[in-house]
Homo-oligomer: A and B are copies of this chain.
Amino acid sequence: MQSLRKILSRIERGEATPADALAATAARIAELEPQIQAFASRPDALLPGEGPLAGIACGVKDIIDIADLPTRMGSAIYDGWQPRADAPIVMALKAAGATVAGKTHTTAFAFLDPAPTRNPHDLTASPGGSSAGSAAAVAAGMIPLAIGTQTGGSVIRPAAYCGVAAIKPSYALLPTVGVKPFSWSLDTLGLMAASADDVGAALAAIAGRPSLDAPAASLAGLRIGIHEQAYAGAPEPASAAALQRFRELAADAGAVLVPHDGPAALAEAFHAHGPLQDYEATQALAWEYAHHRDALPPKLRAYLDAARATTPEQYDEARRLSRRGRDAARDFFGEVDVVVSYAAPGEAPDTLESTGDSRFNRLWTLLGVPCVTVPLARGPRGLPATVQIIAGFGSDEHVIAVAKALEKRVEAGA
């Protein structure tokens, strides 16, 4: 993978110019795109910007508006569609000096129908979704940074399946203006890169919050709550083994691991994710459903056929349960330093027909709390399997710091 930090260090030391770095990235894209199929569209050239991320090419999920590239949203309904303005996240990216590498493939409207993208670890396995192109392009070493979005598990899951680091920050830390909505109470922008260190550096620059480029935390004495999310079902052996690997690494480093089940309000909030998303998605895609139902891919079409039966009363109840869950989360996260859970049920599905399952991600998206994943282990099929580190709302700096400590232990082969 391309290390964002190493690219910036080389530029800082005068060993390369931003243009050199972008040329290297362009060459990697040209080499690998035919087999990975990560990009929906790309600019004619990668021109360097000015700022802390000068020389960094970033993939932008193709539900995010860019004025000079089409925004297709993974759907023929938007063939040739050209937005008028850059989304604020794209403006922030450019203001930090980064260069748009292109629009990365998304599942149609960021739902479950697969994108054409392949998993670089196994071209017959799913890269996950919905931010498939973003995760695969980083994993293949085509680009050092990518932007995705998560409504269920669409950042952390593809990152886990493709073996890259990622953050789904606190809700609305990054602005979703100019991003095609699916469920506005849930939709959250996230970043993917080769490491938590890279993710922290990029998020700090893009959000204009230097403290997010946090030094690695000390794991010694850190109280880590292990939350297995029994209400979400059991993990596959690959993820169970990844959690066990995490336990060993963290315990070796002196962390205090405690089982941390959480109150019933969290499980109730988990179950509220469904009706919350159903009611909002029905509205967010009302025009597409009414005018282009036959052009919707089969999973999304069937989903909307069913979701539209959700009543205002069910939605209101889901909002109430969400609020209760968020209230309960303050205590839940206050009792430990961080919480760790599975990043995905297991390795990437052994098929291009499924993008996998977001059941270990949904609660955190709904709570709006920050989640970071880093590559940790390999499953029985040789594909990545890992955990996610989670903390309370606004503790983005903290989850980055802990993830950086973890990845140092992984790199050291501790």
Total identical chains: 2
Task: State A88–B284 Cα separation when bound (angstroms).
Answer: 6
Chain A interface residue count, CB cutoff 8 Å, equals 31
Q: In the complex, which residues 118-146 of chain A have their Cβ closer than 8 Å to any Cβ of chain B?
A: none
Task: State A27–B208 Cα separation when bound (angstroms).
Answer: 53
A324 to B: closest C-beta gap in Å: 13
A266 to B: closest C-beta gap in Å: 19
Decide if A81 touches B84 in the complex (CB within 8 Å).
Answer: yes
Name, among A67, A207, A283, A290, the residue most crowded by chain B CB atoms within 10 Å (CB to CB).
Answer: A283
- Cβ of A106 < 8 Å from any Cβ of B? no
Contacts of A175 in B (CB 8 A): 184, 280, 283-284
Decide if A185 touches B208 in the complex (CB within 8 Å).
Answer: no
Task: State A288–B177 Cα separation when bound (angstroms).
Answer: 13
Q: A95-B286, A175-B280, A176-B184 are in contact. List 16 more A-B contacts (CB 8 A).
A: A67-B287, A86-B286, A91-B283, A91-B290, A92-B283, A92-B286, A172-B184, A172-B185, A175-B184, A175-B283, A175-B284, A177-B283, A177-B284, A207-B312, A208-B312, A316-B394
Interface residues of A (CB under 8 A from B): 67, 78, 81, 84-88, 91-92, 95, 172, 175-177, 181, 184-185, 207-209, 280, 283-284, 286-288, 290, 312, 316, 394
- 8 A-B Cβ contacts within 8 A? A81-B84, A85-B287, A92-B283, A95-B290, A172-B185, A175-B280, A177-B184, A208-B312
